[in-house]
Amino acid sequence: MGIMKIDGYPVEFTDEPNILSVIRKAGIDLPTLCYHSELSIYGACRLCNVEDDKGRMFASCSERPRDGMSIKTSTPRLVRYRRMLIELMLASHYRDCTTCVKSGDCVLQNIAHRLGVNSVPWGYRERRYEKDFSSPSIVRDPDKCILCGDCVRVCEGIQGINAIDFAHRGTDAMVIPAFNKHIAETNCVNCGQCRVVCPTGAISINTNIRPVWEALADPNVKVFAQVAPAVRVAAGQGFGGVRGENVMGKIVAALHRLGFDEVYDTTFGADMTILEESKEFLEVFKKGGPFPLLTSCCPAWVKFCETRWPEFVPNISTSYSPIQMLGSIAREYYADPAHNQGKKVLSVGIMPCTAKKAEILREDLKRDGKQNIDYVLTTQEMITMIKRAGIRFDDLEGEAADMPFGMGSGGGVIFGNSGGVMEAALRSLCEGSDRAEIENLRNSGVRGPGPLREFIFKYKGNEIKAAVVSGLAEADALLRRIKNGESFYHFVEVMACRRGCIMGGGQPAHGGFRTKEARKHGLYESDINTQIKKSNENPTALAIYDTLIKGREHELLHSHRH
């Protein structure tokens, strides 16, 4: 608690961990390249330097605010230093902005522009490393890396994976997997969180735009898309829209204009997941184990569990993730010539997630050797396509998703938030449509801040011990406690990305705290605006059990992982 002066104006601070946060709170967007509020403080870029009234300089990200302090953020000297730092970075950077995937969305480029770096007075330090296209999810281009370490800290600190790290030192330093292996040969779980924090084009999404576009242009191919819940509250950001606003209607309209024959809502698949998973849970609960039942909808988590905690793999629900549910059902649907009109059908998932690009390739999710989904495009790729086609997103009139898979419940839509799957599953266990019970559940602890939430849900006189966890490092710790007998749960939801899919690896990057909150609220609000709250009350979902599934749940809706 205290007051400090920033550029002459008094600013109050409370529990801000560093001066940089206070500066940002005061409305000054100090440029930084190595600070993320959720990552450990690294102090490498030195852009956040400020000056105190004695002319002393220090990095504001790594200094605690003190009462009575007075600092300046943009003296001519500071601005000169910042510009020189950027010039130095750029001099060792493979600067092909005009053709770089990140151009226009690149923090380094933006800062250079903001600071008026109009030329680089140093010769280019040629490095030219090989690009790494091995992963279906991300592409690594070390020539673009400025060694800010953000990816290393997110991968190790938040995800507990450490697939990439610094190697060598000094000007030889680089961020690579061990022994400079291809990323696909590591334990990388494809979560794409490194790409989200990377300020440059050094880590980007492995894009599938081209084949999709070709299919869209092919009159002999029927292309349909499904749009995941979290996409709708993030896509608007790509068009300068309001943070967290649900723009599903416009997305549907834009996709139609791009040539998608049908646009479905993955919320429908989410309802299917809940229908199957809650059945599974009740069975396990009745049988008395094995506990906990672990959710299956996050592929990054599933891969993590398989590599790090194989003993828990049998606990993972076999129910398909929402995208697979819809993909599998739609395959059945389009198997009917009445629906495919004799054309080839291409199934595209529009996802907030880079790991889904890997999930669709999994053997245990194939049926007759064929993928349930042909391509996954991330939110960011969808934005790129809309822009590339010149569609004015803002001006679009919203359209409804296509039937029969265009309708989902409120439970389905909150899937995109950490805790959403659990809430939807337990909601479906609430008796009838009792609003009060749903309300109670909401306040039970399933929502809320923090990467780990534990709570108890009363079900028919029994207590269900549940936990919701996001971030794999946190999940790792939780599993360890479960294994050691320190913790016990009946049901655990795990999402690899902190806060869930709203912060997935394929979402528009540069989301600060307010963006994160806005996306979360966006989804909860969509739930409020939905008539049907419970997945097991989605009439279209229930209907397909008779029309398409016909008792083939095991074949159509469950992974054959074990």
For residue 299, cis peptide bond before it (omega within 30 degrees of 0):
no
Q: What is the CA radius of gyration of the chain?
A: 24
Q: How far is CA 58 from CA 20, 48, 61, 72, 78, in A?
A: 11, 8, 9, 11, 11
Asked if 271 contacts 411 with a C-beta cutoff of 8 angstroms, the reply is yes
The interface region with another protein, picked from 40-48, 286-294, 434-442, 451-459 by CB under 8 A, is: 40-48
Instruction: Determine which helix (DSSP H) or strand (DSSP E) holds 344, and give its type and residue range.
Output: strand 344-351
Instruction: Determine which helix (DSSP H) or strand (DSSP E) holds 257, and give its type and residue range.
Output: helix 248-258
Q: CB nearest ligand FES: which residue?
A: 61
Closest to ligand FES by CB, 45 vs 188, is 45
192 binds, among ligand FES, another protein, ligand SF4, none (CB under 5 to 8 A by kind): ligand SF4
- CB 50, min distance to ligand FES, A: 10
Identity of the amino acid at 551: G
Give the span between the Cα atoms of 252 and 380, in whole angstroms. 15
271 lies in the site for another protein, by CB under 8 A: no
144 binds, among ligand FES, ligand SF4, another protein, none (CB under 5 to 8 A by kind): ligand SF4
Residues 146 to 205 in contact with another protein, rule: CB under 8 A: 146-147, 149, 162-173, 177-179, 186-187
For residue 333, give both structure tokens.
């649907």
Residues 162 to 221 in contact with ligand FES, rule: CB under 6 A: none
Residues 61 to 120 in contact with ligand FES, rule: CB under 6 A: 61
Closest to ligand FES by CB, 158 vs 294, is 158
Q: Among 6, 26, 33, 106, which residue sits at the site for ligand FES (rule: CB under 6 A)?
A: 33
172 binds, among another protein, ligand FES, ligand SF4, none (CB under 5 to 8 A by kind): another protein
CA torsion angle 245 249 254 255 (round to 10):
110
Give the span between the Cα atoms of 314 and 290, in whole angstroms. 9
* Bridge partner list, 495: 470
Closest to ligand SF4 by CB, 161 vs 407, is 161
Closest to ligand FES by CB, 18 vs 535, is 18
193 binds, among ligand FES, another protein, ligand SF4, none (CB under 5 to 8 A by kind): ligand SF4
- CB 49, min distance to another protein, A: 6
- CB 139, min distance to ligand SF4, A: 11
Which three-class secondary structure state does DSSP give residue 544?
Answer: helix
Give the span between the Cα atoms of 324 and 319, in whole angstroms. 9
Give me the residue label for tokens 């009792």: 434
32 binds, among ligand FES, ligand SF4, another protein, none (CB under 5 to 8 A by kind): ligand FES
Q: Among 4, 19, 39, 45, which residue sits at the site for ligand FES (rule: CB under 6 A)?
A: 45
Number of residues this chain uses to bind ligand FES (CB under 6 A): 12
In terms of DSSP bridges, do strands 344-351 and 375-378 run parallel, antiparallel, or are they unpaired?
parallel
Closest to another protein by CB, 45 vs 426, is 45
Q: Site mask, another protein, residues 89-118, x = CB under 8 A?
A: x-xx--------------------------
Give me the residue label for tokens 């309001």: 242
E-only strand ranges, 384-461:
452-459
Give me the residue label for tokens 């294994």: 483
Cβ density class 216-251: b for 16+ within 10 Å, e for less: beeeebbbbbbbbbbbbbbbbbbbeeebbbbbbebb
Closest to ligand FES by CB, 57 vs 91, is 57
Residue 147: which region, alpha, beta or left (left: phi > 0; alpha: psi -120 to 50)? left
Nearest one of 86, 96, 91, 92 to 116, comparing CA atoms: 86
Closest to ligand FES by CB, 30 vs 225, is 30
Q: Among 3, 64, 242, 363, which residue sits at the site for another protein (rule: CB under 8 A)?
A: 64
Closest to another protein by CB, 106 vs 231, is 106
- CB 250, min distance to another protein, A: 41
Give the span between the Cα atoms of 23 and 40, in whole angstroms. 18
Give the interface with another protein as residue ranges (CB under 8 A). Answer: 41-46, 49, 57, 59, 61-64, 81, 84-85, 88-89, 91-92, 121-123, 125, 146-147, 149, 162-173, 177-179, 186-187
Give the interface with ligand FES as residue ranges (CB under 6 A). Answer: 32-35, 43-48, 59, 61
